[in-house]
Amino acid sequence: DGGITQSPKYLFRKEGQNVTLSCEQNLNHDAMYWYRQDPGQGLRLIYYSQIVNDFQKGDIAEGYSVSREKKESFPLTVTSAQKNPTAFYLCASSFERGEDNEQFFGPGTRLTVL
């Protein structure tokens, strides 16, 4: 089955610790994205990558870092510099160009920092 996976579904961390959220897709998509969603809010773009070994900052990149060493994988690290990290994190992927360039979303990771 093709799809996009995120793990874990729930994650708890102490304040001051870095944490890495995984995102893997086997859809052969070129582009991958990380969003953050807070209660009652829309999705805000953290980082995105259109090709391997390249990525761009989204609207709220401060306190986050990413890597794109493989086409299938786009892990997100939430660093201790992120002032308010508790949120629902969604990873998505899509073909870079073309008419059917909808984004497919993973199931999300709910991060709680204590």
Q: Which residues of the shown chain bind other proteins in the complex (CB under 8 A)?
A: 33, 35, 40-45, 48, 50, 56, 58, 88, 90, 96, 99-108, 110
Q: How far is the CB of 27 from other proteins (least distance, A)?
A: 13
Which is closer to other proteins, CB of 16 or CB of 40?
A: 40
The tokens for 2 are 């093709």
Q: Does the bond joining 85 to the residue before it have cis omega, within 30 degrees of 0? A: no
Q: Using the 8-state DSSP alphabet, how is residue 98 labeled? A: S
Q: Which residues contact 46 (CB under 8 A, 6 or more apart)?
A: 34, 35, 36, 58, 59, 60, 61, 64, 66, 76
Which is closer to other proteins, CB of 13 or CB of 44?
A: 44
What span, in angstroms and rounded, lies between the C-alpha atoms of 110 and 68? 22
Q: How far is the CB of 5 from other proteins (least distance, A)?
A: 11
Which is closer to other proteins, CB of 18 or CB of 57?
A: 57
Which is closer to other proteins, CB of 86 or CB of 105?
A: 105
Q: How far is the CB of 92 from other proteins (least distance, A)?
A: 8
Q: How far is the CB of 8 from other proteins (least distance, A)?
A: 15
Do 110 and 6 touch, CB atoms closer than 8 A?
A: no
